[in-house]
Every structure is written in structure tokens, then in C-alpha cells.
Structure 1
């Protein structure tokens, strides 16, 4: 049964391959919490093909993110924007959101 809800959220694992100082890549991961929007709302936020405005609206939390000193990072506008300022993280978040929210092609459990 599909329940019409005023607000839905979902969580998904984000995996990013970040270049490192050794000339290779390190795989980092964290959990992102997204707010589900209607397709019309997504389209309006993505006008011009930019996902940054969309992600500022739908990226509403995270887990497994730490500060430089190793302490747990708190989600707020500043930490959200710091993550969105990293190009590879922005791309991974965008792909994850669109895969899960629109295409329904996110990770499948066996």
C-alpha cells in the first residue's frame, strides 16, 4: 500500500573515491539523509541543469561524518555546504538522490 505523506525522508550510503597524496584513491563513505520531493518540485529546483540548489533543499542530514580532529560532525547549514563544496561529494550525492528518488534504481537488497 502506498501512503500519501506530506513529508518523507530516506537514507542511503554515499561512496566517494577521493584522490589522495599517494597518487591513488581512497574510498570514503557516509550515510546521507534526504527529503523526498515531488517530481515537479525537483524539476523546478534543477532548472538550468544545476543540482546544487536541489541538494541544498533535499540533503537534510548525515551519519558517519567527522571533523578534521576526528570528532563527530553535527549537521547544519555550514557542514552541509562544506560537503556540497567538494565536487566529488556533490556528484555522489546528486547521483544517489536522483537514483533513489526519481529513477528508483538505488542499491537493491537481495
Structure 2
């Protein structure tokens, strides 16, 4: 289910590099329970486009992020990610996301 094919097979429309909506998360919870017998699951490597600019891209595929969500019964309970800690890279990512660097300079300067 990590690539969305299981959701598409049961009629849930998802964008390849988009985020999951509440309906998709709940349906995925049902599918995980049916297939694996557990109500607990973790999704990782979300598309970078749906995560904040300060989320670290995956080293082996920068279209994805080093981030995760933890779910119980199709409800997200925890989110987390590796944060970018290099000021120059933060500036680059902010600009790529349409954020004016001067508006977040105090954040970037903290590194």
C-alpha cells in the first residue's frame, strides 16, 4: 500500500505525489487491518511537495522526504521528519517553495 496501488484498486483516487486525505487514510487503515491484522501502521517517505520546506529530502530520491506519519485505525496520531539544518539548503528550499527568505531569516539564522 506504500505506493498507493491498493487504494486505487479499491476506488480511492490519489495523486502520485500528493498527500492522503482523510478518506484515503481511513481506507488504508481498513486495508492494513484486513491484510496484516493490525490497526497500527507507519507511512514514511512522503512526497516532498506535501511537506514543509524545512523537511529533509531523501538522499536517494529527492522527490520524497525523510518524514513519517504513524496511524492507528486509519487516524494519524504522530508526524515526524528529519529537518534541514544547513542554512544554505534551508534558503534554497524556502525559495523553491515560494517563501521569501527575509521573512524567515531569524529561523535560518538560528542554525
Indicate whether the TM-score tops 0.5.
no
Higher strand share: 1
> Which bracket does the TM-score occupy, shorter chain normalised?
under 0.3
Structure of higher RCO (CA pairs closer than 8 Å, 6+ residues apart): 1
TM-score, normalised to structure 1, is 0.27
Larger gyration radius, structure 1 or structure 2: 2
TM-score, normalised to structure 2, is 0.27
